[in-house]
C-alpha cells in the first residue's frame, strides 16, 4: 500500500474530518462524481438514466419498477450494538425486498467492512441464507483469509460479490502489494466461475474497475466456454462509465452501485484510496470552486 493510499484510508477513518470536510464546497463537488446526491430522489434520477442504457442498478431504492437490488452494511443495521438486533433488522430488509419484487428473485447484498467484521458478517450471512436464499455477500480479495471463505461460499452455492478491498489492514491480514491483490482477485474469480461453483448455483459478481483485470477474466472465461451472459460485473457510480457501457453493450451483465446519504465522507475517501489518481478530481474542484 503506497503512502497516498494510506493517507486517504486514514482520512476515511477520521471522525474529525468526517464532521468537517463535507462543509467545504470543493469536497462536495468532487464527491458528486461518485455519488449523485444525499437524497433518495438523487439516486433515483441517476438510476433511471442507467436503466435506459441497459445497466442494472444496485441501490437501496426498490421502487419505480427498476431492475434494482439492495446493498447494505451490517454496521448500518446495528452490528456494533447487538448481533441479534442486527440480524432481526437484516431479516426485515430481506423480507421487504422480496415483497417489493414478488415476481423476481431479487438479491439483498451484504457489504463487507473491515477485517474485524468479517467473521460476524459471514456468520450472519450464512444464517440469513438458510432462511432466505435471496441473500448475497461481498468478499475482499486483499484479505489473506478470503480464499478459504470463498471455498465455503462456493460449497453453499452462495451469491458472492468480489471486490479488491479498501480498508487499512496490517500485512499479516491483507496483501500489501497491488500486484498480489490483483493475482488473488483473479484466482478467486476463477474459483467463483469454476464448474463446481456453477453446478452449485453460485452467482458471481466481479466488482472491479480494473480494465486489465476485467480483460483477463473475460478472456479466461471465454477460453473456458463460459457465455458472456453468465458473467456479471459491477462498478461504482461515476467510475469507468465507458467500461460500464461497453460491458453492457457486449452482452455481459453490468451493474452499478449508487450510494446516497449524508454520511458519505468516509465512503468518498475510500473511493479515492482505491485509485489515488482520483485525487486529481478533488484538486480540480478545489481550484474551480
Point out the residues that are catalytic: 111, 161
For residue 174, the 8-state DSSP code is B
CB 100 within 8 A of CB 129: no
Q: What are phi and psi of 101, to 5 degrees?
A: -140, 65
SS (H, E, C) 115-160: HHHHHHHHHHHHHHHHHCCCEEEEEECCECCHHHHHHHHHHCCCEE
Q: Which residues of 261-277 are buried (b: 16+ CB within 10 A; e: fewer)?
A: eeebbebbbbbbbbeee
SS (H, E, C) 245-283: HHHHHCCCEEEEECCCCCCCHHHHHHHHHHCHHHHHHHH
Rg over alpha carbons for the chain, rounded to the nearest Å, is 18
Q: How far is CA 136 from the centre of its chain?
A: 11
Residue 170: how many other CB atoms lie within 10 Å: 8
- Cα(95)–Cα(97) distance, integer angstroms: 5
Structure-block grid coordinates of residue 121: 458478517
Amino acid at each position: 500500500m503506497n503512502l497516498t493510499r494510506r493517507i486517504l484510508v486514514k482520512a476515511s477513518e477520521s471522525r474529525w474530518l468526517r464532521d468537517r470536510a463535507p462543509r467545504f464546497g470543493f469536497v462536495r463537488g468532487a464527491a458528486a462524481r461518485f455519488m449523485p446526491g444525499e437524497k433518495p430522489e438523487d439516486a433515483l434520477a441517476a438510476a433511471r438514466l442507467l436503466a435506459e442504457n441497459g445497466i442494472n442498478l444496485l441501490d437501496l431504492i426498490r421502487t419505480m419498477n427498476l431492475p434494482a437490488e439492495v446493498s447494505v452494511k451490517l454496521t448500518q443495521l446495528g452490528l456494533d450494538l447487538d448481533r441479534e438486533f442486527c440480524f432481526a433488522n437484516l431479516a426485515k430488509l430481506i423480507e421487504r425486498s422480496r415483497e417489493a419484487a414478488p415476481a423476481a428473485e431479487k438479491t439483498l447484498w451484504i457489504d463487507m467492512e473491515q477485517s474485524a467484521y468479517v467473521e460476524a458478517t459471514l456468520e450472519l450471512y450464512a444464517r440469513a441464507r438458510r432462511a432466505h436464499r435471496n441473500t448475497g455477500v461481498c468478499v475482499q480479495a486483499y484479505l489473506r483469509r478470503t480464499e478459504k471463505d470463498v471455498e465455503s461460499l462456493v460449497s453453499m452455492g452462495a451469491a458472492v460479490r468480489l471486490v479488491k478491498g479498501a480498508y487499512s489492514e496490517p500485512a499479516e491480514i491483507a496483501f500489501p502489494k497491488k500486484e498480489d491483490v490483483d493475482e488473488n482477485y483473479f484466482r478467486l474469480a476463477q474459483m467463483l466461475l469454476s464448474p463446481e461453483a456453477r453446478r452449485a448455483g453460485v452467482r458471481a459478481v466481479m466488482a472491479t474497475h480494473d480494465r486489465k483485470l476485467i480483460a483477463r477474466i473475460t478472456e479466461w472465461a471465454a477460453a473456458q466456454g463460459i457465455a458472456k451472459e453468465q458473467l456479471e460485473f459491477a462498478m461504482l457510480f461515476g467510475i469507468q462509465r465507458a467500461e460500464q457501457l461497453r460491458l453492457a453493450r457486449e452482452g455481459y451483465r453490468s451493474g452499478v452501485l449508487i450510494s446516497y446519504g449524508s454520511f458519505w465522507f468516509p465512503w468518498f475517501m475510500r473511493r479515492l484510496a482505491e485509485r489515488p489518481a482520483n485525487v486529481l478530481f478533488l484538486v480540480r474542484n478545489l481550484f474551480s470552486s
